[in-house]
Structure 1
Amino acid sequence: MYRKLFLLLFLGLSSGAIMAQSKKKVKQLSQQLEQTKKNWVAPYYNQAEEPPLPMESWVPEYGIRGKYAYNGIQLSIPFLEALLGEKLFLSGPHEGNIMDWDNDDFGHYNPKFLKKLKQYLKKLSKQKDFVSSYQPFYEANLQQLARSYYRAEQHLKRQPELITAGQKLDAEERQEFFRDYSDQEEAAGYIWYEANTCANFWLRRHTDGSADEFSDLLDLLLSTFDASFLKNN
């Protein structure tokens, strides 16, 4: 009898400690996101200030590289890895906060990291103050790119044979491989460069096995800040 009571007490205390730790980490993530929003630098062509991180892009205002190069230190990879207790990459050329864009290899993401990140972001998405605070920031800085990622993902889902064919090509060949798709997206009002790089992103995610986790994260982002777009697409 006493053993059962002790076990129940132990489990209750452990559960409470885990919940408290989780709340603390969600708060830390929220605070870091707030700092990132507050100090955000929107990159543009011929920007006078050099980015603090490598970029290797002629169009910093489009895609993810410019955004990361100017803002990646604020919401750093080491901070997120320490917060989640998981490494971001299982393998690849990137190290710490530095992305090696020139390498022929690419970062193979850790699904465990992405799953834990989603857990914390999902809790933040339920906080009305957080969502209302970030809505204008999302619309100004992330909406266009997030929609391109979604449309590229749906394009490959509708034609899964493109994934198999695209994975056999090198980086330069893959750009040409998605030229028709990028042209169609540009005609629909999207950015040609982003359409092309987003399609290639999903090819890499199907290669490293993290496509489902990134799809979940993207759905969470869109359902939180862009629900009407998600419903109509």
Structure 2
Amino acid sequence: MRFALAVCTFLLLPLAGCSTPPADSPPAFADVWAALSGTETASYDACDGFMSGYVSTYGARGLACTTNTRIPLRTLLARYSGSVYTSGPHSLDASGLSVDLLSDDFGHYNPEFVEWAVDNSIVGENDATVRALLAPVYRARFQQLARVYWSVYQNLASEGYPDRAPAGAPEAYAEYLASGVVPEMARTEYYPGFTMTVFSDRNEALARDIAGPGEWHFGAMYEANTAVGFWMRRRADGTQEAFRDGLERLLAAYDAEWLAAM
């Protein structure tokens, strides 16, 4: 299926670190934060094949591509001893990465992996000094994605998620996840499967708010559309609560003022 990539794997893994590191030792995965300092992104060519030629300036796939050019994702995955997924078309482990973005199936997360990723995801969560040092990395690399995914979750929750699929496109997507049959509303002449643009109407205002007045908001719109799909897939595999709690912890650590205002 379109945009079936495990989005938050790549949102969380680059942030992975021990929230309570031993005294006198740097935070675990501090090497990843150091590698992502600055604002440079990977080139289009660097993403070709690895991320289906995806641009690297926005979105979770863009973040994954940029991270992979600094520290290979298989190196990060080697730090977890189990399986990322219990089923689905993707294979992510220390031996290699295989991502099928056109499958009518999707990656069902291993709950133990999600627990590990969340528990080890927020460098400096309990250390204000570390957070102050890493705040520029958070702002440059993760802030917009984190805010978009949280905002989309809250919008879905206001319509009954996760107890039920919100009416309209999210409900149609939930039916697609269950049956593999693409509804007419989600078809285009360009892509097979369920296209994410079906969520654009519900995310237009959110994307403009995230991007700011007068700013180009396509990146935020894309991220919001993929976030709807992500949260609906997490509802289907039962990991939405764990991811939501982990995202809230990240925002509480690095974006507390924004979170409190939501």
Structure 1 pair 42/196, CA: closer, same or farther in 2 (3 Å)?
farther
- After the TM superposition, which of the residue ranges 143-152 and 49-58 deviates more from structure 2? 49-58
Q: Does 1:110 align with 2:140?
A: no
Choose from 163, 166, 173 the match for 1:166. 173
Distance 2:61 2:120 in 1: 24
Q: Structure 2: 5+ residue runs without aligned partners?
A: 1-19, 177-181, 187-192, 212-219
Choose from 178, 197, 200 the match for 1:179. 200
2:35 is aligned with what amino acid?
A: N
Distance 2:64 2:256 in 1: 25
Post-superposition shift, 1:64?
Answer: 0.5
Distance 1:31 1:118 in 2: 14
Choose from 34, 57, 61 the match for 1:65. 61
Distance 2:63 2:122 in 1: 23
> What SS class does the counterpart of residue 98 from structure 1 fall into?
strand
Distance 2:48 2:197 in 1: 31
Choose from 193, 206, 210 the match for 2:239. 210
Q: Which residue of 2 is the match for residue 3 of structure 1? A: none
- After the TM superposition, which of the residue ranges 180-189 and 146-155 deviates more from structure 2? 180-189
Alignment of 1:59-208 (within 5 A): 59-72=55-68, 74=71, 76-77=73-74, 79-80=76-77, 82-95=78-91, 96=93, 97-104=96-103, 105-121=105-121, 124-160=124-160, 161-162=165-166, 163-169=170-176, 170=182, 172-173=193-194, 175-190=196-211, 191-208=220-237
> What SS class does the counterpart of residue 50 from structure 1 fall into?
helix
Using the size of structure 2 for normalisation, the TM-score is 0.67
Structure 1 pair 145/42, CA: closer, same or farther in 2 (3 Å)?
farther
Checking the alignment, whether the CA contact within 8 Å between 2:85 and 2:109 is kept in structure 1 is yes
Checking the alignment, whether the CA contact within 8 Å between 1:57 and 1:66 is kept in structure 2 is no
Task: Provide the identity percentage.
Answer: 26
- 1:164-214 superposed Cα distances (whole Å, 9 cap, x missing partner): 443113475452431211222233244211111111111111111111111
Between Structure 1 and Structure 2, the one with more helix by share is: 1
Structure 1 pair 50/133, CA: closer, same or farther in 2 (3 Å)?
same
Distance 1:92 1:70 in 2: 25
How many residues get paired?
205
Bigger Cα Rg: 1
> What SS class does the counterpart of residue 167 from structure 1 fall into?
helix
- Superposed CA RMSD in Å reads 2.9
> What SS class does the counterpart of residue 150 from structure 1 fall into?
helix
Checking the alignment, whether the CA contact within 8 Å between 2:85 and 2:107 is kept in structure 1 is yes
- After the TM superposition, which of the residue ranges 171-180 and 88-97 deviates more from structure 2? 171-180
Distance 1:119 1:58 in 2: 29
Higher RCO (Cα < 8 Å, 6 or more apart): 2
Using the size of structure 1 for normalisation, the TM-score is 0.75
1:145 is aligned with what amino acid?
A: L
Post-superposition shift, 1:86?
Answer: 2.8
